[in-house]
């Protein structure tokens, strides 16, 4: 091949024009000699941090990831084919390709190693040397054409490397997103399964509550009616009146309880009433029914709350207060709702008898309340935490993003 000395050639000579075009191509164009050393490389190699002239005479392995070198350099690859030959259908792909025609290397994807640079101020901690670029190589053997076919002399390999780093990164990002999407679909399935299960359990709990309340009222009233009958038969008016009064009290208590179960099922229209007022109303009713005084601190802008978030917070408070009434014996209860950065924090504290949270979680008894509160908070991307120590009360903290 003719050696170019650009300075000695005139601008408009064809060789100079071709060389200029080669230099400015966006892909890396290279030529390596039979020993694998660069004899030409165009300006695009600067994207790896090299000046073309500093690579001339250097082995091509300088710019290739060592693992890929083992896969695509003749000195490693051809050893494996010793005595076997390579098939026409799937000839190995080589960076230092000698073959031409049909069997030359096309679309070989390799990782390129950029030149290690000393960190400059501009790098600001970026580890440039570890950045790996990706290239798509096409290469072919180059032979002296004027020599007869039989003895033609191998002059080296000509190749083009197309930088597809951005494409590769985009591809990796897509893969990552696909994986994340798959994961979140799975999580969604698991989640809706859990929600369905909780709903079923809640229905069971409701029917058990109704059954026990109506059952106990029916049994008690039935026995009172028998007692009244006996008292009337025995002409004992005072006892009859006493039992009638007792029956009325039992009846009123059961009706109150039933009303509460029904009210719990249908929260007020929070769109109209607003969460703070709805909760204050709910706490007043609790005070009337149980005597428990709930201190209520609301420092939120409930207009920022979605209806879903408002209902969820209302339901969690209801479930927590039901637990306090059922289990805690507390004298003091505080419900505090405050705005946080991008969210709302709900804290419910009681000074009741507390419990061992680990034992309850590990126990075999069917408890739905705590689980359903957790599910409700998590379903809106929030968190639910409970801390309790026997004898020292219980604290629930819920954070919901808004």
Ligand X SMILES: Nc1ncnc2c1ncn2[C@@H]1O[C@H](COP(=O)(O)OP(=O)(O)OP(=O)(O)O)[C@@H](O)[C@H]1O
Tell me which residues touch ligand X (CB under 6 A). 205, 323-324, 326-328, 350, 352-355, 360, 367-370, 394
Which residue, 39 or 388, has its beta carbon nearer to ligand X? 388
Tell me how far apart the alpha carbons of residues 130 and 128 are, in angstroms, rounded to a whole number: 5
Task: Count the Cβ atoms, other than its own, within 10 Å of residue 204.
Answer: 12
Residues 337-376 that bind Mg ion (CB under 5 A): 369
Residue 324's binding partner out of ligand X, Mg ion, none, with CB under 5 to 8 Å set by partner kind:
ligand X
Which residue, 30 or 384, has its beta carbon nearer to ligand X? 384
Q: How far is the CB of 350 from ligand X (least distance, A)?
A: 5
Residue 247's binding partner out of ligand X, Mg ion, none, with CB under 5 to 8 Å set by partner kind:
none
Does 202 participate in binding Mg ion (rule CB under 5 A)?
Answer: no
Residue 355's binding partner out of Mg ion, ligand X, none, with CB under 5 to 8 Å set by partner kind:
ligand X
Residue 350's binding partner out of Mg ion, ligand X, none, with CB under 5 to 8 Å set by partner kind:
ligand X
Which residue, 36 or 369, has its beta carbon nearer to ligand X? 369
* Of positions 42, 105, 312, 323, contacts Mg ion by CB under 5 A: 323
Tell me how far apart the alpha carbons of residues 145 and 167 are, in angstroms, rounded to a whole number: 37
For residues 29 and 22, is the Cβ–Cβ distance under 8 A?
yes
Q: How far is the CB of 250 from ligand X (least distance, A)?
A: 23
For residues 401 and 382, is the Cβ–Cβ distance under 8 A?
yes
Residue 168's binding partner out of ligand X, Mg ion, none, with CB under 5 to 8 Å set by partner kind:
none
For residues 351 and 314, is the Cβ–Cβ distance under 8 A?
no
**Angular region, 323: left φ>0, alpha ψ -120 to 50, beta rest:** alpha
Q: How far is the CB of 321 from ligand X (least distance, A)?
A: 9
Which residue, 244 or 397, has its beta carbon nearer to Mg ion? 397
Residues 77-96 that bind Mg ion (CB under 5 A): none
**Positions of E strands within 22-153:** 28-32, 38-41, 105-112, 133-143
For residues 63 and 112, is the Cβ–Cβ distance under 8 A?
yes
Q: How far is the CB of 292 from ligand X (least distance, A)?
A: 12
Which among 254, 300, 256, 257 is positioned nearest to 277, based on CA atoms?
300
In angstroms, what is the C-alpha Rg of the chain?
41
Which among 314, 311, 326 is positioned nearest to 367, based on CA atoms?
326
What is the 3 state secondary structure string of 264-315?
HHCCCCHHHHCHHHHHHHHHHHHHHHHCCCEEEEEECCHHHCCHHHHHHHHH
Which residue lies nearest ligand X, judged by its C-beta?
369
Residue 360's binding partner out of ligand X, Mg ion, none, with CB under 5 to 8 Å set by partner kind:
ligand X
Residue 328's binding partner out of ligand X, Mg ion, none, with CB under 5 to 8 Å set by partner kind:
ligand X
Q: What is the DSSP letter of 93?
A: P
Does 394 participate in binding Mg ion (rule CB under 5 A)?
Answer: no
Which residue, 108 or 294, has its beta carbon nearer to ligand X? 294
Q: How far is the CB of 257 from ligand X (least distance, A)?
A: 14
Residue 382's binding partner out of ligand X, Mg ion, none, with CB under 5 to 8 Å set by partner kind:
none
Which residue, 56 or 206, has its beta carbon nearer to ligand X? 206
Which residue, 114 or 369, has its beta carbon nearer to Mg ion? 369
Kindly provide the b/e burial profile for residues 142-171, where b requires at least 16 CB atoms within 10 angstroms of the residue's own CB: beeeeeeeeeeeebbbbbbbbbeeeebeee
> Rule CB under 5 A: which residues touch Mg ion?
323, 369
């Amino acid at each position: 091949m003719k050696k170019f000395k650009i300075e000695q050639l005139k601008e408009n000579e064809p060789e100079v024009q071709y060389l200029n075009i080669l230099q400015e191509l966006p892909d890396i164009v290279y030529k390596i000699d039979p020993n694998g050393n660069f004899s030409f490389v165009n300006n695009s190699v600067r994207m790896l941090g090299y000046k073309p002239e500093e690579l001339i005479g250097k082995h091509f392995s300088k710019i290739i990831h060592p693992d890929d070198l083992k896969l695509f350099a003749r000195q490693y690859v051809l050893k494996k084919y010793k005595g076997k030959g390579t098939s026409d259908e799937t000839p190995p792909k080589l960076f230092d390709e000698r073959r031409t025609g049909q069997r030359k290397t096309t679309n070989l994807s390799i990782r390129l190693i950029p030149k290690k640079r000393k960190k400059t101020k501009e790098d600001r901690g970026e580890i440039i040397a570890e950045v790996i670029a990706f290239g798509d190589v096409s290469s072919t053997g180059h032979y002296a054409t004027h020599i007869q076919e039989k003895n033609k002399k191998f002059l080296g390999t000509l190749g083009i490397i197309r930088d597809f780093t951005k494409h590769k990164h985009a591809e990796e990002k897509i893969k990552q997103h696909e994986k994340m999407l798959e994961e979140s679909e799975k999580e969604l399935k698991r989640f809706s399964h859990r929600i369905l299960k909780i709903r079923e359990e809640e229905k069971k709990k409701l029917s058990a509550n109704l059954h026990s309340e109506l059952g106990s009222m029916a049994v008690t009233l039935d026995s009172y009616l028998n007692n009244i009958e006996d008292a009337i038969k025995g002409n004992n008016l005072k006892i009859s009146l006493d039992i009638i009064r007792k029956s009325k009290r039992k009846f009123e208590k059961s009706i109150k309880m039933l009303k509460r179960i029904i009210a719990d099922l249908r929260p007020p229209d929070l769109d109209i009433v607003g969460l703070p007022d709805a909760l204050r109303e709910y706490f007043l009713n609790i005070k009337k029914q149980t005597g428990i005084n709930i201190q209520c601190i609301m420092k939120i802008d409930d207009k920022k709350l979605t209806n879903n978030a408002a209902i969820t917070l209302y339901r969690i408070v209801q479930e927590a207060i039901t637990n306090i009434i059922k289990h805690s014996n507390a004298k003091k209860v505080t419900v505090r709702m405050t705005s946080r950065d991008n969210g709302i924090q709900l804290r419910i504290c009681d000074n009741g008898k507390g419990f061992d949270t680990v034992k309850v979680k590990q126990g075999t008894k069917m408890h739905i309340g705590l689980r359903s509160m957790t599910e409700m908070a998590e379903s809106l991307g929030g968190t639910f935490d409970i801390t309790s120590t026997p004898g020292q009360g219980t604290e629930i903290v819920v954070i919901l993003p808004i």
